[in-house]
């Protein structure tokens, strides 16, 4: 199985609550190597573009306002089956349904402010990595 890359975001709630180190530590302890890392604050327009796939959903306006409400941390994670492994570490979207020991089960208490984002497939990962990182920023 070849190595693959995925995009992770620590959302504004995770940064504001001081969970950056905790979340990154979980990635590193679970075989996901950091290949790029930065803190950014999205404009509302950028958040709307990033989550364009959810346009029309009831939570789209609120989600994009939330995602542009404060700084976030963006990472490229690399490893064997990195996309699936990152999703496993994150847990289900709704923390109440997330498996014990996952980031969302342990740290989130809100379905929207759920600490992390992770790409959900190879095409999404490629698009989302390119959205946040230039070639120059990749180690
Ligand atoms: P994911 O982050 O687990 O991939 P998606 O279905 O892609 O979940 O939704 C993107 C984000 O939109 C979620 O992480 C969460 O912040 C928000 N979201 C999803 N469903 C709901 C909902 O029913 N109410 C409020 N926010 C939601
Ligand atoms: Mg998603």
Residues 6+ apart with CB under 8 A from 91: 98, 99, 102, 103, 104, 105
Q: If you average pLDDT over residues 20-48, what whole number do you get?
A: 98
| pTM confidence score | 0.98
Closest atom of ligand 1 to 87 CA is: 3
pLDDT digits 0-9 by tens, 49-91: 999 999 999 999 999 999 999 999 999 999 999 999 999 999 9
Cα 29 to middle of ligand 2, angstroms? 23
Helix (H, G, I), strand (E, B) or coil at 72: strand
Given the residues 117, 128, 129, 132, select the one marked as catalytic. 117
- For residue 117, indicate whether it is catalytic: yes
Q: Tell me how far apart the alpha carbons of residues 126 and 129 are, in angstroms, rounded to a whole number.
A: 5
What pLDDT score does 139 carry?
86
Q: Tell me how far apart the alpha carbons of residues 127 and 119 are, in angstroms, rounded to a whole number.
A: 9
Atom 26 of ligand 1: nearest residue by CA position: 112
- Please say whether the beta carbons of 27 and 8 come within 8 A: yes
């Amino acid at each position: 199985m070849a190595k693959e890359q995925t995009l992770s975001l620590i959302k504004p709630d995770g940064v504001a609550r001081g969970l950056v180190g905790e979340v990154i530590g979980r990635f590193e302890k679970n075989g996901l190597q950091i290949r790029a890392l930065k803190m950014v604050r999205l404009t509302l327009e950028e958040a709307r573009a990033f989550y364009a796939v959810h346009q029309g959903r009831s939570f789209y306006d609120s989600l994009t306002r939330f995602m542009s409400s404060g700084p976030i941390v963006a990472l490229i994670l690399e490893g064997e089956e990195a996309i699936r492994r990152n999703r496993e570490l994150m847990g289900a979207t709704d923390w109440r349904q997330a498996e014990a020991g996952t980031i969302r089960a342990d740290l989130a208490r809100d379905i929207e402010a759920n600490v992390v984002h992770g790409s959900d497939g190879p095409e999404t990962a490629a698009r989302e990595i390119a959205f946040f990182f230039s070639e120059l920023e990749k180690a």
